[in-house]
Amino acid sequence: MKNRISFSPAPYRHSILSLWTVVVVLLSLNWGAAGQHQTGSRKPLVLAHYMVCCSHLGHDATIEQLKNEMDEAQDRGIDGFVLNIGAWSAEPYYKKITERMYQAADQTRRQFKLALSLDGLPLEDSIDAIRLATVHRSQLLTDDRIFVSSFGGSAQWAVSVKEGARAQGIDIFFVPYLFYPLADRSALLGQPSRDTYVASKVLNDMPSLDGYFYFGAARSPDDLAKAFLTITRTVKGAQKFTMLGISPYYKGFGPRNSRVFESNGFQGMKEQWISAIRAAPEAVELVTWNDWAEATYLAPFGSASDQNVLNYHWGPLLSHSGFLDASRHFIEWFKSGIEPIIVRDQLFYFYRLHPRDSDGLINLRTGSLGKPYGWQALNDRIFFTAFLTRPTQILVSTKDREEAFEMQAGVSDFSVPMNLGSIQVQMIQNERVVATKLLEFEISSLAITGNFNYFSGNVTPLIADSSRPKDSEK
């Protein structure tokens, strides 16, 4: 017989009840102009980092397929893709796909935007890519200039890109992620925050830059949330454009990047969103849309149980659609500055398919098994984030254990211990079951299927509750 335990987690509505959020709020009281979105024609942007090399649609994706993918992103509130270009003349398919993506974006009904992220490209290739982008109406413009970003690069390279484009008659609005100051380890000694130091050093070295992009990702969510505030203050203090990278989760492969950072389901991404909302940068870039190798992807790629992307090139993958769809609430909040009213009940779930002490595939090249660096900090729990319009009882059944949670209206997080076997979830409102779901994957002692990645999905009631009060009755 199952053991049943009842809980009543406290939700938040227009405030987040955590120690870190209290700190954030106190800081924001003294934020001044640096904590406000700029007024006028410049509206807050939500973009997504798109790996041109690695669309789940393949290198031969049609314009129509790419348009559909852009529609999927735009339906979630994403304004455009920042196209990460890892090669150009040396690998011509990058140029072909980039041109095709611009053609697709030009044809979107809702004016989906694109921009370039130059990833270690030689100067000549960088200028050629910028020339390609300028002729397309879907190119993102900021202050009537071509918006360009980067992942990496030296100070000399960044200055050369801006000057080289201007020599071609193209004025770019350059907001790169540069991390070359990290090479000087001695300079980091005594710095309260290495990421804030890097941003400050880059802007001091190159006053001609228009802004700074903080990529983030490979950090704990708490560290990222703190960095968002200090970096935004630094960049806005220099009167520059700020763009912050928000990521769902991070798990890399060896031989040099076998590491993992716990997110506690959606809670880590939510913490980043709240910090970004408080900091009020000009733009957020979701990191990433489709970096399958580091598990930061948000892109849908099939049904919830599908695991094949590009012939299992990165092993079996798991859906991150829960991270993407749960972010919709916060995207709207970031853009408007006002937390939106919840109009639809949704319960999102997030879990790894195996305990943390299992051995997974840590090196794709050699096939070696083991555990990524940081595995000891992982939490063997099943995480839930609920968006509710009214009080709801949620039952979670795992093996011989059933737990009941009395949730109030608002946004709430809760979790249950991980047990081997299947997971079932029920939602009950007014003593009536409005949703029942057996989750797609069981939890196993073997890590081959999940490989330290998160799986996510959602439960949505299919029955409209006629007893819900109408607006006139509230």
**If we measure between CA atoms, which residue out of 393, 473, 388 comes closest to residue 432?**
393
pLDDT of residue 462: 79
The pair of three-digit structure tokens given for residue 339, joined into one six-digit string: 């937390």
Kindly list the distances between the CA atom of residue 80 and the CA atoms of 140, 334, 365, 427, in Å, as whole numbers in the listed order: 8, 16, 33, 35
Bond from prior residue into 255 cis (ω within 30 degrees of 0):
yes
pLDDT of residue 472: 37
Residue 350 contacts by C-beta under 8 Å, 6 or more apart in sequence?
263, 265, 266, 322, 323, 382, 383, 384, 385, 454, 455, 456
Residues 22-35 as b or e (16 or more Cβ within 10 Å = b) = eebeebbeebeebb
Q: What is the DSSP letter of 180?
A: G
pLDDT of residue 186: 78
Strands 250-251 and 145-150, bridge-based pairing: unpaired
Helix-helix angle 93-106:123-134, to 10 degrees:
20
Domains and CATH numbers, the chain: 3-7+348-462 (2.60.40), 19-25+39-342 (3.20.20.80)
> Along the 474 residues of the chain, how does pLDDT read in single tens digits?
455 555 566 554 443 334 444 444 344 434 433 345 543 457 999 999 999 999 999 999 999 999 999 999 999 999 999 999 999 999 999 999 999 999 999 999 999 999 999 998 999 999 999 999 999 999 999 999 999 999 999 999 999 999 999 999 999 999 999 999 988 887 787 776 899 999 999 999 999 999 999 999 999 999 999 999 999 999 999 999 999 999 999 999 988 899 999 999 999 999 999 999 999 999 999 999 999 999 999 999 999 999 999 999 999 999 999 999 999 999 999 999 999 999 999 999 999 999 999 999 888 888 899 999 999 999 999 999 999 999 999 999 998 899 999 999 999 999 999 999 999 999 999 999 999 999 999 999 999 889 999 999 999 997 654 444 444 333
pLDDT of residue 467: 45
Give the model confidence (pLDDT) of 226-245 as tens digits.
999 999 999 999 999 999 99
Give the model confidence (pLDDT) of 112-162 as tens digits.
999 999 998 999 999 999 999 999 999 999 999 999 999 999 999 999 999
pLDDT of residue 463: 62
At 463 the three-state DSSP class reads coil
Helix-helix angle 267-279:19-29, to 10 degrees:
10
CA–CA dist 253, 452 (Å, integer): 11
pLDDT of residue 470: 41
Bond from prior residue into 449 cis (ω within 30 degrees of 0):
no
- CA 261 to chain centroid, in Å, comes to 14
The pair of three-digit structure tokens given for residue 258, joined into one six-digit string: 């076998």
CA–CA dist 151, 140 (Å, integer): 18
CA–CA dist 376, 371 (Å, integer): 9
CA–CA dist 282, 277 (Å, integer): 10
On whether the CB atoms of residues 294 and 251 are closer than 8 A, the answer is yes
The pair of three-digit structure tokens given for residue 48, joined into one six-digit string: 């997504």
**If we measure between CA atoms, which residue out of 149, 147, 150, 123 comes closest to residue 136?**
147
pLDDT of residue 425: 98
**Burial status of residue 124 (CB atoms within 10 A of its CB: 0-12, 13-18, 19 or more):** exposed
Q: What is the DSSP letter of 32?
A: G
**If we measure between CA atoms, which residue out of 71, 80, 129, 121 comes closest to residue 243?**
80
- CA 20 to chain centroid, in Å, comes to 20
- Centre a 10 Å sphere on the Cβ of residue 149 and count the other Cβ atoms it contains: 27
